[in-house]
Amino acid sequence: MLAVSSSEFLNEFTIYANKAHDEKEIFIIQRANDKNAVLLSLVEYNELKKQLFLLQKNNNTTK
């Protein structure tokens, strides 16, 4: 996980987007007033959502 400034991110968007996709890198985009954001590939996002769904499903079935 790497942190980059918002201005650097905007200047080099294609590079960061490619690294997120090709290298599965996750970026924290540092913004003013703690309005930070995260960039990750859609594949990584979907995997996180899938894992969250499965955890929630398991918690509901074990009650």
Handedness of CA 40, 46, 49, 50 (dihedral sign): negative
Which pLDDT score is estimated for 43?
A: 97
Alpha carbon distance 36, 42 (integer Å)? 19
Which pLDDT score is estimated for 63?
A: 61
Query: How confident is the model over 37-47, as pLDDT tens digits?
Result: 999 999 999 99
Domains, the chain: 2-61 (3.40.1620.10)
Which pLDDT score is estimated for 60?
A: 81
> Could you state, in chain order, the average pLDDT of each consecutive group of 10 residues for the chain (63 residues)?
97 98 97 97 97 90 69
Which pLDDT score is estimated for 18?
A: 98
Alpha carbon distance 48, 17 (integer Å)? 18
pTM greater than 0.85 (yes/no): no
